[in-house]
Amino acid sequence: MSQLVVKPGRNVARQARRNKDIRKVEGAIIWHARERKKRQKVAQERWDSKQALLQHAKWKKDNIDNVKRKALQNVREDWQLGPLRPNRAIGEGADKYGALTGRQLQKPEIPVHMHRDRNEARRKWGLELEYPLIVDSKKYFHIEKDDRVVVVNGREKGKIGLVQDIVARTHEIIVTGVNKQYYDSDVFNNGGEDVGPKRANEVPIPMNDVRLVVPYEMTEILRLFDKATGNVEETLTKVCKDVIVDKVFMERHTTGIDPFTGKDYGDAEIPKDHQYDPRTSLPIFHRYIAGTQHRIEWPWEKPKVVEDTGLIEEDTPDRPGFLSRTWSTVRHPINSLKSMTSKKPENKAPKAADGEAMFTAKRLEDAKQQASIKKLPKSKDPGLAAAYDDIDTTRNIVEDADSMAYTLVAPPFPDTLGAELRDDIASFERAALEDKDSPRPLKFKRRSRMGDLMGGIARAKLLAAQKMKTPMQLRWEMEQARKIKKKETEPLVSTSELLEALNRHRAAQKVVKGPVEKVEGVE
């Protein structure tokens, strides 16, 4: 009989303890393996976050800092050399000089777990979360395609445009017609079409540098002057203006109106199936103006305008995912901005009984106006000649701006203006230098912030050195100052010394016998 087999009734308690220890060790091994996997996951995420930061720093250094430093060096060199500055657009890539390459467009990705950990840290410190929000390892942005946004930083500051696309991997957006730069045409897949060496296209803008622009209904006082009575009547009217939303608050839609059935659940929770979009299986978010109950519609919720008829396509019950749209009259602390692209308000036409007939009449009127416009409009002032010919067309005619006027002292300059005026300017400068009576150019001492800072540091060092001098050094400096002042006030040689020297000279030459008397006028 095998010794491993325990007979019934013998060593039962020992075998039970042994089995218990075995189960305990097995459980510990499973627990440690599970914890090891968790630690490995956390360590891997930390390593990925560190690598992402290093890659982003390297990309910024190679494609932004070094490029900026090199450009400043080139500008400084061009300024110093003047007409002798070199032409850098030479060689094989001369036609692509200054264009963005594919390497410059490969911006490092921002990992999901990195942004999630950052928001968790901000929540612990009581700070506001940064968009996008992370739910179930997915990013949710407060700006979507076809939204109207305004740029608040950079060279395109103040421009409003439609969002063309969302770059989720780098938290950037592309705005149509804003922030355009030249790309290397090799970046695009042109399908065999020749578009040239460079192609202008939009560059992504960081999401923190844009703000939403939404229409908002406000109540204003309208003052009307009655000519018959001479009184001014004030009436309240509601106007819709574009406003900049400084902060957007996003919230999961779990209570209130069911977006599928329209039933109002109040504070009760909406069914789980109706909290997710059936097309994308993603949770439904609503966005609000921070501090108010004004909900900002998503682009797909807004009514569409049909170009052929001009009528607005309203929502129908068979289109789920849309809530009733109402305007809120609550005032809120946000920055108001009139649309930069809107034209001056015209006189309102009287309301027609039939909207479709009014629209058709308006289209006919616009067509007549377009047909009456000549190909090349003439100047409004009859005393001036036409500012165009069959070859050249000025910008004011193209953009229909009557206020534009071009002179030689205001841009745009002709390309050959500098070469034409260079010899004349040099001859004027030479003539001015030769003429002594001509006024000289005033010279001002150039000051800069860095120069003032260095001067302050030098003065502080000098003052500290003055405080550290010994009494003997101060006494020597006072004696030196007294000697210098004495030399400035008294002659170099005294009269008595000069007469004694002259006596010695004459005695040596045996010219006269006896001392020389003082002569008048000699000092």
User: Taking the domains of the chain in order of start, what are their residue ranges?
Assistant: 1-82, 247-333, 477-523
Residue 14, Cβ density class (10 Å: 0-12 exposed, 13-18 middle, ≥19 buried): exposed
Cis peptide before 439 (omega within 30 of 0): no
Q: What is the pLDDT of residue 514?
A: 53
Q: What is the pLDDT of residue 392?
A: 52
For 116, half-sphere exposure in the C-beta direction (CA atoms, 13 angstrom radius) is 13
Q: What is the pLDDT of residue 65?
A: 92
Q: What is the pLDDT of residue 375?
A: 43
Residue 478, Cβ density class (10 Å: 0-12 exposed, 13-18 middle, ≥19 buried): exposed
Q: What is the pLDDT of residue 507?
A: 85
CA–CA dist 503, 517 (Å, integer) = 9
CA–CA dist 325, 314 (Å, integer) = 11
The segments of the chain whose pLDDT lies below 50 read 1-4, 307-356, 359, 373-391, 519, 523
Cis peptide before 412 (omega within 30 of 0): yes
DSSP per residue over 463-496, as a string? HHHHHT--HHHHHHHHHHHHHHHHHHHS-SS-HH
Q: What is the pLDDT of residue 415?
A: 66
pTM reported for the whole predicted model: 0.53
pLDDT, tens digit (0-9, with 9 covering 90-100), for 332-368:
322 333 333 334 444 444 444 444 455 455 556 665 5
